[in-house]
Amino acid sequence: MSGIDVREAITQAHHEEWARVVAALTRRFGDLDIAEEAAAEAFATAVQRWPADGVPPNPGAWLTTTANRKAIDRIRRESRRDDKHKEAQMVYDDDPREPVGAIDDDRLRLIFTCCHPALAMESRVALTLRMVAGLTMPEIARAFLVAESAMGQRITRAKAKIKAARIPYRVPSAEDLPARVSGVLAVLYLVFNEGYLATGPDTDPVRHELTAEAIRLTRLIRVLLPDDGEVAGLLALMLLTEARRPARVSADGQLVALDEQDRGTWDAALIAEGHRLVRERLAAAAAGEAPGRYQILAAINAVHTSARDMRDTDWSQVLALYDQLVRLDPSPIVALNRAIAVAELDGPEVALAAVGRLEPRLAGYHAYHATRADLLRRLGRDHESRAAYDKAIGLAGNTAEIAYLTRRRDHLR
């Protein structure tokens, strides 16, 4: 096997086995620090040995065995004389210390631990990307525009809180599972959205590495919880959104709105997979299973990605889905997006009145002013539209979006 093939095998093993190795070590040794360090050392050993020795027949088993040995070595180095009994128990006892919960899977236990509601949301995101996704500290720091040292401290504090609060390493019980799955999905959706429309001014406007990682982790959750409708809904939503990525930013770095995108560049395979998932959830809804928020958002995106042209969009169906979503999530952002569908059906004046009612809650949100600016433009109220564009530009953080809004504003009379 060539050097390039070995490097590719190591990269593939990292993607496929990191979470499995860390999860198994965490279950066995009950310590996220030990698990993370031993897994990292095992992969570093693979980088050194596989080019000379060849890729083992079962890379995952090799990595897990090597990581276990690294963990045992660390425990032996750090143990004191009066800790020998505890050391022996940690080294040789493979039984989990906690009840396994509703589903017995090490990776799922790891995800639920990293996304525990006792942790701040920013800590959940960082810990999930490090412990489950295997991203390095510099990668996570760059993704969220903070110093590497600050990100390291955030993850260290999160692991310390898990230990101090004795957060159990297990899947929640059956009665707690739906609420906790919702928390995990919220973390993954946050990671995806940061990649889909990066908020920082000094980063790429679309962060493919983050959207790809969020999709990969959601696929993992889907494998582990195949009957959960919201997991399927979130995966479909991500796939249908990611499918449009090739058309979202122009060659000169401007965001390209949905009505201006070259739909021929959309990823047909991702759309087909997303549509299949949406159809499955629609069948479940027809059988009496009420759809959740992610399933409805995925259905809205399925309508958009089914249209060959913006003019072919079934806006009445989009509005009906938003009406359904508003009942589940009566947030002002959902109401703002609903108003965009209203504009296509009932005209910009009706939509503008609906948007205006949201100002008290969305005055600091750039998309509110961008939506209002576009509606005013369509009504020929250019002076007011320009002022709204100025507000949107001042609040926006994404470089491609700022360029798009600036162009729209500068085209006003």
| DSSP H helical ranges for 265-362 | 268-286, 293-306, 315-328, 332-346, 348-356, 359-362
Give pLDDT tens digits along the chain (413 positions): 555 577 777 777 776 788 888 988 988 888 888 998 999 899 899 888 888 888 888 888 899 999 999 999 888 887 754 454 454 444 444 444 444 444 557 777 888 888 888 898 888 888 988 888 787 888 788 767 688 899 999 999 999 999 888 888 877 777 777 778 888 898 899 888 878 876 666 567 777 878 988 898 899 889 878 889 999 999 999 999 999 999 999 999 899 999 999 999 999 999 999 999 999 999 998 899 999 999 999 999 999 999 999 999 999 999 999 999 999 999 999 999 999 999 999 999 999 999 999 999 999 999 999 999 999 999 999 999 999 999 999 998 888 899 999 999 999 98
- Binning the chain into helix, strand and coil, the percentages to the nearest 5 are 75, 0, 25
How many C-beta atoms surround the C-beta of residue 278 within 10 A?
26
DSSP letters spanning 391-413: HHHHH---HHHHHHHHHHHHT--
Domains of the chain, by residue range, sit at: 3-98, 101-225
Q: Write down the pLDDT at residue 99.
A: 44
pLDDT for the residue numbered 302: 98
Q: What's residue 233's pLDDT?
A: 97
Q: How many CB atoms lie within 10 A of CB 42?
A: 25
Query: What local confidence, expressed as pLDDT, does residue 293 receive?
Result: 95
Q: What is the rounded CA–CA span in Å between residue 134 and residue 18?
A: 6
pLDDT of residue 3: 54
- The pLDDT, as a whole number, for residue 80 is 55
The HSE-up count of residue 83 (CA atoms within 13 Å, CB side) is 9
User: What is the residue-wise DSSP string for 38-104?
Assistant: HHHHHHHHHHHHHHHH---SSHHHHHHHHHHHHHHHHHHHH--GGGHHHHHHHHH--S-SS---SS-
DSSP state, residue 132 = I
Rounded Cα distance between 392 and 2, Å, is: 52
CB count within 10 Å of CB 323 equals 12
